[in-house]
Amino acid sequence: MSTHKFKLSSIIIFLVCLVVLFSLLITDLLITNTISNNIKNNLEEKAKIISRTVAQSSIVKNGLEDEVQAGAIQDYTIDIQKAADVLFIVVMDMNGIRKSHPNPDMIGKSFVGGDEKAALEGKEHISISKGTLGESLRAFTPIYNDNNKQIGAAAVGISLENVQQALNNSHKNILIGSVIGILVGIIGAVLLARYIKKILFGLEPFAIAKILEERSTMLQSVHEGIVAVDKDSTITLVNKSALRIFKKAGLSENPIGVKINDYMPSSRLDHVLETGKAQQNEELNMNGVSILVNRVPLIVNDQVIGAISTFRDKTEINQLAEQLTGVRMYADALRAQSHEFMNRLHVILGMVRMGYYDELADFIRKIVDHQHHEVGTVTKNVKDPALAGFIIGKMSYAREEQVNMTVVNEKVIPEPENKETTHELITTLGNLIDNAIESLSECTQKNLEIKLIYLEERLIIIVTDSGQGISEELLQQIFEKGFSTKGPNRGYGLYLVKQSITKLNGNLNVISNEDNGTKFIVEIPYNVRREDDD
């Protein structure tokens, strides 16, 4: 099932708008609540100040104490009410009888609301109540004469409709600001999306992810080593093949983020960054490992933004491995057989010319019997043609070197399931046999036994010679690359043997005593080829 893939611009616009909208909503709630409280507090403070002003007025105090001057209270409060723009200002005596009111008909009547009692008891307070002029926010202040005796109270009212109108106006301004913020956010999101898409060469995120995955798979699957650096000569990419070569050269395993000159001073990638010119097929020695290198600059918009180096391994170990494990081994085996056959032909030709026909017949009979026994036994018991042919060739080579080589296998050795197994077996047997024959060159008794045992999907190879043996001290070193007691440019055979056995997940043991011969015991997993595999 395919899933819908949104464009980068749509995702950015949606997310930016969502964040802006959410932020503005939260801000609106917080600001509205804060402003509402501030407006209410300001109106309460306004009413309280007016009520205190009225309560301190000598006109009001005189009017409450002298009925003759009581009419002046109405004129005074009306003037204050108009100037302060409040709903009402009421002055009452200690009985709650009004001395002033916006409606003169209400003068002389009791104050309505029931919230005046606290003020008549000498307490200043603020309340919300409903009176003759409707619901209002009220501030009450006791009135005292010059002898500090309470003679009444002043009440100032502000219409709640005015309060709500102030809140609505404030909220309206906040909403207008929020809408403007959302519009600015949308415009910014569109511009940001266009800018990001331009940087990404118009590619969508899913396309970038696909390209990245393909690039990573491609880089890691190639056999050539690849190293990339940015314009500052910092290593940004190394594939598996490069890491393998670096490890062989003794370099650290994680060069990402390291300056190329600090990690590999001989790379010359910094020169490519400076000149912007490619360098092809140059040979480079890296801590004893020979590699063939190509270097190319990365150019975008006529600017060098980095460089890439690709290289192949050309070390002597690979050349020797190719010789020892490839065609050369088969060629050596055929050469030995061909040489032995030519020698026998010379003997036959001499007997014919000399007329020794009876002796000739006996000689040919022995050759046939020996060849039938030797070749027939090997080909009968070793079902892998390549391995069988290789063993026969080594037997011919051993006879040339006057070594008595015998092959023993009690059970049939089936053909392996994987051809790579044959390749590694030839490497292992070839090096073990060659080393054994060479060790017997100066011995009186030159006996070499190769025993092959197949048992429960395991193959055991035992190579035993009657040579001089290996000292215990040398046994610890014989599998090291380049170690040899036979001179320079040697010491790779047993190292390759160890490598091949490791590839096959096998085990290798050595039993040796000086002047008492050496025995190599190899045991590997051996999955056989089935007839239905053809």
**Tens-place pLDDT, residues 308-324:** 888 877 654 455 544 45
| Residues 421, 336 within the same domain | yes
Token pair, residue 404, equals 């008595």
| Residues 40, 139 within the same domain | yes
| Residues 130, 276 within the same domain | no
Query: Which pLDDT band holds residue 375 (cuts at 50, 70, 90)?
Result: low
Half-sphere exposure of 89 (CA within 13 A, CB side): 25
Token pair, residue 84, equals 């302060």
pLDDT at site 325: 47
pLDDT at site 370: 61
Torsion of the alpha carbons at 509, 513, 515 and 517, rounded to the nearest 10:
-20
Token pair, residue 159, equals 């219409």
Give backbone dihedrals phi and psi of 263, rounded to 5 degrees, phi first: -85, -45
Which helix (H) or strand (E) is 84 found in, with range? helix 71-84
pLDDT at site 140: 92
Contact 57, 76 (CB under 8 A): yes
| Residues 305, 413 within the same domain | no
CATH of the domain at 254: 3.30.450.20
pLDDT at site 153: 92
125-131 β-sheet, strand order? 88-93, 150-159, 134-144, 125-131
pLDDT tens profile 78-131: 988 888 888 889 999 988 888 888 888 888 888 887 888 888 888 998 888 777
Which helix (H) or strand (E) is 518 found in, with range? strand 518-525
Contact 388, 378 (CB under 8 A): yes
Query: Which pLDDT band holds residue 227 (cuts at 50, 70, 90)?
Result: confident
| Residues 326, 290 within the same domain | no
* Residues 6+ positions from 481 with CB-CB distance below 8 Å: 317, 491, 492, 495
* Residues 6+ positions from 432 with CB-CB distance below 8 Å: 461, 463, 497, 520, 522
Mean pLDDT highest for which of 364-368, 380-384, 489-493?
380-384
Q: Which of 128, 144, 166 is the last residue of a domain?
A: 166
Q: Which residues span the domain enclosing 363? A: 320-533
Gap between the Cα atoms of 180 and 28, Å rounded:
13
pLDDT at site 488: 55
Half-sphere exposure of 486 (CA within 13 A, CB side): 11
| Residues 528, 398 within the same domain | yes
Q: How many structural domains does the chain have?
A: 3
CB count within 10 Å of CB 80 equals: 17
Gap between the Cα atoms of 385 and 379, Å rounded:
7
| Residues 101, 144 within the same domain | yes
Q: Which of 266, 295, 314 is the last residue of a domain?
A: 314
pLDDT tens profile 264-274: 887 788 888 88
Grouping H, G, I as helix, E, B as strand and the rest as coil, residue 369 is helix
Q: Is the dihedral of CA 358, 361, 367, 368 positive or negative?
A: negative
Nearest CA to 102 out of 52, 58, 50, 156 is that of 156
Give backbone dihedrals phi and psi of 349, rounded to 5 degrees, phi first: -60, -40
Grouping H, G, I as helix, E, B as strand and the rest as coil, residue 335 is helix
| Residues 467, 517 within the same domain | yes
- The answer to whether residue 422 sits within a structural domain is yes
Which region among 11-20, 328-337, 410-419 has the lowest average model confidence (pLDDT)?
A: 328-337
pLDDT at site 490: 59
pLDDT at site 530: 72
pLDDT at 1 over 50: no
- The answer to whether residue 185 sits within a structural domain is no
The residue with tokens 């200043």 is 124
Give backbone dihedrals phi and psi of 392, rounded to 5 degrees, phi first: -60, -40
Q: What is the mean pLDDT of residues 415-441?
A: 85
Token pair, residue 392, equals 């026969």
Contact 427, 496 (CB under 8 A): yes
- The answer to whether residue 1 sits within a structural domain is no
pLDDT tens profile 181-223: 778 877 887 888 778 777 777 777 777 777 777 777 777 777 7
- The answer to whether residue 196 sits within a structural domain is no
| Residues 350, 470 within the same domain | yes
- The answer to whether residue 153 sits within a structural domain is yes
Query: Which pLDDT band holds residue 2 (cuts at 50, 70, 90)?
Result: very low
- The answer to whether residue 41 sits within a structural domain is yes
| Residues 287, 376 within the same domain | no
| Residues 366, 489 within the same domain | yes
Q: Which of 281, 314, 347 is the last residue of a domain?
A: 314
CB count within 10 Å of CB 532 equals: 5
Query: Which pLDDT band holds residue 335 (cuts at 50, 70, 90)?
Result: low
- The answer to whether residue 124 sits within a structural domain is yes
Contact 87, 133 (CB under 8 A): yes
Q: What value does the mean pLDDT of the chain take?
A: 80
pLDDT at 442 over 60: yes
| Residues 397, 511 within the same domain | yes
- The answer to whether residue 181 sits within a structural domain is no
pLDDT at 425 over 70: yes
* Share above pLDDT 90 across residues of the chain, in percent, rounded to a whole number: 5
* Residues 6+ positions from 464 with CB-CB distance below 8 Å: 448, 449, 451, 517, 518, 519, 520
Question: What is the 8-class DSSP label of residue 68?
Answer: G
Query: Which pLDDT band holds residue 374 (cuts at 50, 70, 90)?
Result: low
Radius of gyration (Cα) for the chain, nearest Å?
53
pLDDT at site 326: 47
pLDDT at site 438: 86
Query: Which pLDDT band holds residue 331 (cuts at 50, 70, 90)?
Result: low
Of residues 443 and 333, more confidence is placed in 443
Crossing angle of the two packed helices 327-354 and 385-400, in degrees rounded to 10: 50
Mean pLDDT highest for which of 48-62, 132-146, 151-165, 469-483?
48-62
pLDDT at site 112: 83
pLDDT at site 154: 92
